Amino acid sequence: MKNLNDRLLQLLKASNRIGDKDIRLVLQEHAKNPAEKIRVILVRRGLVAENELSSLLSTELKIPFLNLAKYKIDPEVIHQVPEKLAKSHQVIPISKIGDKLTLAMADPLDILAVDDIELHTRMKVDCVVSTAKDIQEAIDRFYPHEAEDMAAIASAASEVSEELRVVKGEEDSDVSKATGLMNEAPVVKLVDLLLLEALRKRASDIHIEPFEKNVRVRYRIDGNLEEAFEIPKKNQNAVLTRLKIMSRLDITENRVPQDGRFKVKVREKEVDFRVSILPVYFGNKVVMRILDKGALSFGLDHLGFLPETLGAFKAAVEKPFGMILITGPTGSGKSTTLYSILSQLNTPEKNIITIEDPIEYQIKGITQIHARPEVGLDFANGLRAILRQSPDVVMVGEIRDSETADIAIKAALTGQLVLSTLHTNDAAGAMTRLVDMHVEPFLIASSVILVAAQRLCRKICGHCKEKVDIPKEVFGRLNVRFEKIAPNAKDRNFFKGKGCTHCNRTGYWGRMGVLETLVVDDTVRDLVVKNASAFEIKNYAVKNGMTTLHEDALKKCCQGLTTLDEVIRVTMGDE
């Protein structure tokens, strides 16, 4: 085809839509303003309807015509092409299959536009024909002044104190330039505000959850999720892309889960964020675990253990070999307890090696390995390699299978102190769980020296703490026996948090561990060898002074550290 404009005019004349006089007038007007396209002049002068023009182009070029008004575009596809490119070239992306991106264009022979978008997206571009009016309406619908809206949302970020300014680590500059987001300050401000607010509120996790018409942001504070604010749906992908850039993740991949991490500095304090991205029905859900090294307790004395529990732990960690197990559900503080033990043991004289999935805290002086099952570095294989490195102390992030259990047990028998976690409800259950993993009972009895079941309960806010009286019948219904917990009535002092601005009206501030500590003595070893049940082992331990989870929580309640409501919430099924 010699010239698309000439061919278009010929087609219109052949179909009797325009005459020679109309063609001369259109060409004269185009000569005065060459930047204005022939098809635009034809539509503006009312010589032909825009949809008719697009249909003719489709037929002549053998390119499909698409009625955008009746086509549902996936919002995830839209953000493959930034707003600036879409507006400058008058195109709209409508689908993406593999590395092929399909664009709706009013002028499908605009080679510069196609080349520009292929260069930006690194994908092959196919075209369909649509009317300029429909394309402009789609652009207005999917790119509705995004930067202005985000600036309004993030206006609070400009009020953040300079002392709390977030300083990002190094980012992939090539990816940042490719997305164009680094120049969109409102996106950066909004994400910074989101992170700063989480740190201010002492959140342990940030949840960014997409729904049909909005995006919800929630913070997990003291174990409970609380709604923070909402992000408009149209800003969802910009925020997601920004977080992916910071986490060094693939910004073009939205179909499979991704994991990454990034680091920020707040008032010279480093905070790590572990990022998990999960594809869901309305986009990608983001959960960020906040790992504040400054909040990590270094040493057992700072964990809030009761004296008898602290004594049992100190005696266990001073032993040259054996196994210490921490049990409990996800989020019960097991990792924090293990890291505190490691910090106490971390001296130049000891070779300490860990294998974790993932590494939550990086501790100077300790060799830490990130397990990667996809390349064959699982806990079992990693543990075998560690034992060839002559370690004094080994931490295995979690005992998940019989092979890992067997190697860890044997390591504890051959001169290493082994620390690990298990998912069981109580301390005695760890013994039977190991038996279920096909570890020989005599090996368990010979290696395990201490098992602690752990939970976390909220502490009463010290700013609004007030004394309360709890009727005796309440304790009667709960079957509380004070003979073991607090024999003297004067030792029973109950408090609650009234609620203040410091604790955000919740009455609680921070969390502490509640523990059930089973010290493995000769009788427990005999019970394990005889394949006794967890119930039998626990009964013996309780009769010989072990404090259960429920009793430990009640002791802390009597000391005014937590409330009876928290005791019931956290340990009611463990009494």
SS (H, E, C) 420-451: EEECCCCCCHHHHHHHHCCCCHHHHHHHEEEE
pLDDT for the residue 178: 35
Pick the closest to residue 96 from 74, 112, 111, 117 (CA basis): 74
Note the pLDDT of residue 174. 38
Query: Which pLDDT value is given to residue 191?
Result: 87
In Å, how far are 158, 225, 282, 284, 471 from 211, measured between CA atoms?
Answer: 28, 17, 6, 10, 46
- SS3 letters for 365-397? CCEEEECEHHHCECHHHHHHHHHCCCCCEEEEC
Q: Are 303 and 513 in contact (CB under 8 A)?
A: yes
Q: Would you state the pLDDT for residue 132?
A: 83
Instruction: List, run by run, the mean pLDDT of 10-residue segments along the chain (575 residues).
Output: 64 76 81 74 76 76 82 80 84 88 85 86 88 84 57 49 45 39 63 86 92 90 86 87 90 89 80 92 93 65 81 91 92 87 89 88 87 87 91 92 91 92 92 93 94 93 89 78 77 86 84 92 95 94 90 89 89 68
The pLDDT score that the predictor gives to residue 340 is 87
- In angstroms, rounded to a whole number, what is the distance separating the alpha carbons of residues 248 and 170? 10
Residues 179 and 192 sit within 8 Å (Cβ to Cβ): no
DSSP 401: S
How far apart CA 452 and CA 430 sit, in angstroms, is 9
How many whole angstroms separate alpha carbon 92 and alpha carbon 457? 52
Q: What is the rounded distance in angstroms from the CA atom of residue 527 to the CA atom of residue 543?
A: 15
- CA geometry: angle 175, 264, 188, nearest 5 deg: 50
Per-residue pLDDT, 81 = 86
